[in-house]
A and B are shown apart, each in its own frame.
Chain A
Amino acid sequence: MKRNGTATTNGAPRPEGAPRTKGVQLTMTLDGEKVAFTRGETVYEVAERHRREIPTLCYDPRLDPFGGCRLCVVELEGARNPVASCTTKAEPGMRVRTRSAALEVQRRILMEMVASENRDTDVDPMHGYASQEMAELLDRYDARTGRFEGALSGTSRPDDDNPFIKRDYENCISCYRCVRVCAEQEGDYAISVMNRGFHTQITTEFGGLLKDSACTFCGQCIQTCPTGALGDLKALANKDVPGETETTRTICPYCGVGCTVDVMTRGEKIVGVLPAMDGPANEGALCVKGQFAFDFVGHPDRLATPFIREDKSGQLRPASWDEALDFAAGKLRRVVKDHGRRAVYGIASGRAPHEAAYMMQRFIRAGLGTNHIDNCSRA
């Protein structure tokens, strides 16, 4: 699973070299080079660690190997036919070739066939995290030849009126990544596969709408889809916002799990959220709130100026910072004068950053010399 064309801050480095296991170094040969590996690693994982860039479409490092797309085939000495590297465990002494003329021909033909199944080969990157994977491989293998004319596999579901997940199965290549992420990562088992061959259809129980299924709208299926058959409707609604998409790494604003997200922006607008695959708390997972509930930030209801209550009318009215700060300080000083410094109480937020809570307690302790400070965790 590779990043689509957006810049990122703080991407995780790729691990270098294999760890040693108890003094015994396991090795295999990769394209003539002797390389180390750890027991349990697949040939694909070893090769990726050594930057072989083997193509795949059904692979997501978080999911069990599947071996569906056959693009990751490699030549294994002693085996009659090429083997899928994602499902083949590395063995000591194994000799593997990840590149050869024959493999490249096979991969190109596979990509031509894959492309022939879909209505579109190029989709807007706003579809999701992995949405450009197929298009990138079509470019890499120069496979937009149109040599094969296949039937479209999969029937789109424009009838699903949910506001989050586009279900455009005419662009589905049946890699099952959505089905697997829903089962293996989320444990929700909301979607499944019906039929075989050109009639393969990703569907819910009873073929209904997602909202009537076990779907929790976490968006993980969108983010793992390599073709844009599934798309992030909230991000796609922003696809024509002018400007380059930039991402900023931060933490989700909702519960205490602390999922890492990459906020996508264009200019001064948040256009979507991507899960951070290397986020320590979430490892790529998000829920419906973290994935989709971001647009309160630019909402017209946001306060954009201070307000003070006029003595005469009793109404709140907008004020400048200078005026409002003086007004508040005046009122607080009056309370301290009339009732003493212990008459002022501070409540810090469990939603604002440390600096807010720290400054609130500093105000109370360093300013007033009391401990009359709390946060909202008692209710």
Chain B
Amino acid sequence: MSNPLADMDKPDVIFCIGTNMTECHPVAATRLKRALARGAKMIVADPRRIGLAEIADVHLPIRVGSDVSLLLAMAHVIAREGLVDQAFIDERTTQGEDFMKHVERYTPEWASGICECDPGDIEKAALLYGGADRGAIYYTVGITEHICGVDNVQSLCNLALMTGNLGREGTGVNPMRGQNNIQGAGDAGALPNNYPGFQAVTVPAHQEKFHKAYGRKVDLETGMTKVTALDLCGDGIHAMIINGENTLVTDPDRHHCEHALKSLDCLVVIDIFMTETAKVADVVFPATAWAETDGVCTNTERRVQRLRAAVPPPGDAKPDWWIVSRLAQRMGWKGFEFESAKEVFNELCSLSPIYAGLDWDRIDRGEHQWPVPTRDHPGTPRLHEEGFENGRGIFKMLEYRDPEETLSDEYPMWLTTGRRLPQYHTRTQTGRSGGIDYLLSEETLEVHPDDIARLGLQDGGWAELSNPRGCLHVKVRATAKSPKGTVFASFAFEDVPVNVLTGGGYDPVTQTAALKACPVALKPVGPPPALGQAGAGAMTIPGGM
């Protein structure tokens, strides 16, 4: 996030897009609700009538994957109505003039033909955000998990740049990160293009620094992404070490994943449960879990916080860092003689400019948000206050692109996927925590009542979802939360593995999978033969991440 969580109760106008925050980041959503109680207005763009949409001033039920068209039209209205922050544009951005010209042709009427929203509502949303003194944008993977994920994010940046909604309290462009330490995994350098602290691997000075630190020359070119690596399994990639990810269930196109992992000569999995992915490994190492592990994590607002062990791990389980460093030692490599998490974290701090002012003891109370460049630096709750790191904010001239796969006579419905409040990811943790299944014990496919009638489905009955990649059966739930023509399911339950269907391409820049827009066919089927009284989900043992 560009701005701290504490800023979330301060905007005049909140713009949430592709974020089901009340279910996926419930505590952050409470701050937005407090802002609304104080009088703030909220725009919610989401295909589904999610919890946030229920309390929004404007809900834009966009067609999945059409975000760029909506955001271009909003920019058009803001420019046309003179709601731009010209001083901000002049002082801090470049190509503003070109951008204003670029958006002239993208009217709400034009966008309406793509995103299927009422042009009047698009106009209203644009006037609200453009007219705000403090406008804040919040998004999640509903924005990024598309073939145009980067375009979507840059479209949001364009809106913030043209209205000067960056670098001030209650503003910003704020991605909500979905996992407790997904920010930290990137911070720590687990990226093919960056050393720790987002230092590009292609910059000679960075290469020199790590050569010196690690005593080994590192390749000068960027590594491949996980997506490419999975494509090349058995053909260039012959071994994988997977730490705490249930790749088989969480990645798109399950059959492809399964084939990829099985064609490796060596798969090493480090996890806390025997996940589907661990089951196909050659070696499985048992890791310590949350509340058994001392360590550090970074949250969505870049706050660096301590994790503390409260109980001993089961049996011989060991911390991940210990496992990997001991494996390195067995490989015969020097420099992996770490004895504590503190030692590991302090080495990370010594090599990362954004953590340079931190160490294990200094983060004890979680007071710092990176960058913390020096020992006496208080941290940076709000980015871009004085200026942008790379000079000026650059307007991007974007065009709308269709998803890689679009609707056809054969596959006439959109499937979109996500999470639900009580269950987390593939239920490895929530499914094994007492009581959670009381709130949600099985997966259902959310279908608009008109589609139910049109397709001959029944509320509570079963449906077959299929596309060329796969097929699954799922119980149907009638709800106007889904728009007509779009169905929704979460990826929480093992017996409804929606990732057999998803997989319609990747963003060309980040290679983030398009998990939110997937054409499918939908037809009624009978209940599964072996099904008892409770529904399949209630009887399965949870697996996966």
Contacts and interface: CB of A to CB of B under 8 A. Distances in A.
Given A293-B430, A343-B236, A359 B189 contact: no
B455 interface: no
A339 B238 contact: yes
B327 A328 contact: yes
B421 A216 contact: yes
Interface in B402-459: 421-422, 424, 428-436, 438-439
A293 B306 CA distance: 20
Interface string B294-329: 011111110101111111101111111100111110
Contact of B186 (A263, A324, A375): A375
A371 B227 CA distance: 14
A351 B215 contact: no
A288 B331 contact: no
Contact of A256 (B182, B222, B252, B367): B182
Most chain B beta-carbon contacts within 10 A, residue among A10, A234, A249, A355 = A355
Given A345-B240, A379-B512, A305 B193 contact: no
B305 A369 contact: no
Q: Which 4 A-B pairs have the closest CB atoms?
A: A304-B315, A258-B299, A353-B295, A187-B33
Interface in A346-378: 346-367, 369-378
Contacts of A281: 5, 27, 299, 301, 303
Contact of B320 (A324, A327, A355, A371): A355
Given A187-B33, A316-B284, A234 B435 contact: yes
Contact of B310 (A248, A346, A378): A248
B271 interface: yes
20 contacts: A187-B33, A248-B309, A254-B180, A285-B27, A287-B26, A287-B27, A301-B273, A303-B284, A321-B316, A321-B318, A328-B268, A344-B240, A344-B241, A345-B229, A348-B188, A359-B344, A366-B216, A370-B218, A377-B179, A377-B186
A348 B305 contact: no
B353 to A, nearest CB: 15
Contacts of A361: 188-191, 195-196
Interface string B171-191: 000001111111111111111
B286 A265 contact: no
A263 B181 CA distance: 19
A374 B192 contact: yes
Interface in A138-187: 161-164, 184-187
Contact of B180 (A186, A258, A327): A258
B283 A324 contact: yes
Most buried by A among B180, B319, B320, B326: B180
A102 interface: no
B315 A305 contact: yes
B101 interface: no
B386 interface: no
B430 A289 contact: yes
A309 B26 CA distance: 41
Contacts of A373: 189-192, 223
B311 to A, nearest CB: 5
Given A186-B33, A258-B180, A293 B433 contact: yes
Contact of A332 (B227, B266, B272, B422): B266
Interface string A114-126: 0000000000000
Given A268-B312, A328-B266, A295 B433 contact: yes
Interface in B349-372: 364-367
Contact of A345 (B237, B316, B434): B237
B110 to A, nearest CB: 32
A329 to B, nearest CB: 4
A77 B178 CA distance: 54
A113 interface: no
Classify the secondary structure of A's interface with B: mixed
Contacts of B252: 379
B321 A355 contact: yes
A308 B283 contact: yes
Contacts of B5: 257, 281
Nearest to B275: A303
Contacts of B365: 10
B319 A355 contact: yes
A370 B223 contact: yes
Given A265-B311, A286-B27, A354 B188 contact: yes
B311 A348 contact: no
Residue with the greatest number of chain B CB neighbours at <10 A, chosen from A309, A331, A354: A354
A199 interface: no
Contacts of A305: 286, 315-316
A331 B239 contact: yes
Interface in B177-226: 177-193, 195-196, 201, 210, 214-219, 221-226
Nearest to B253: A379
Contacts of A257: 5, 25, 27-28, 176, 299-300
A16 interface: no
A344 B328 CA distance: 13
B279 interface: yes
B433 A251 contact: no
A290 B289 CA distance: 15
A369 B186 CA distance: 19
A326 B330 CA distance: 6
Contacts of B178: 255-256, 350
B24 A255 contact: yes
Contacts of A285: 27, 30
Contact of A355 (B345, B506, B511): B345
A364 B191 CA distance: 11
Contacts of A292: 433, 435-436
B289 A297 contact: yes
Interface stretch (B113-121, B333-341, B518-526): B333-341
B487 to A, nearest CB: 20
A373 B515 CA distance: 22
Nearest to A320: B316
A376 B250 contact: yes
A66 interface: no
B433 A353 contact: no
Contacts of A377: 179, 182, 185-186, 512
Nearest to B429: A296
Given A316-B284, A350-B179, A162 B223 contact: no
A373 B247 CA distance: 15
Given A287-B421, A289-B422, A304 B316 contact: yes
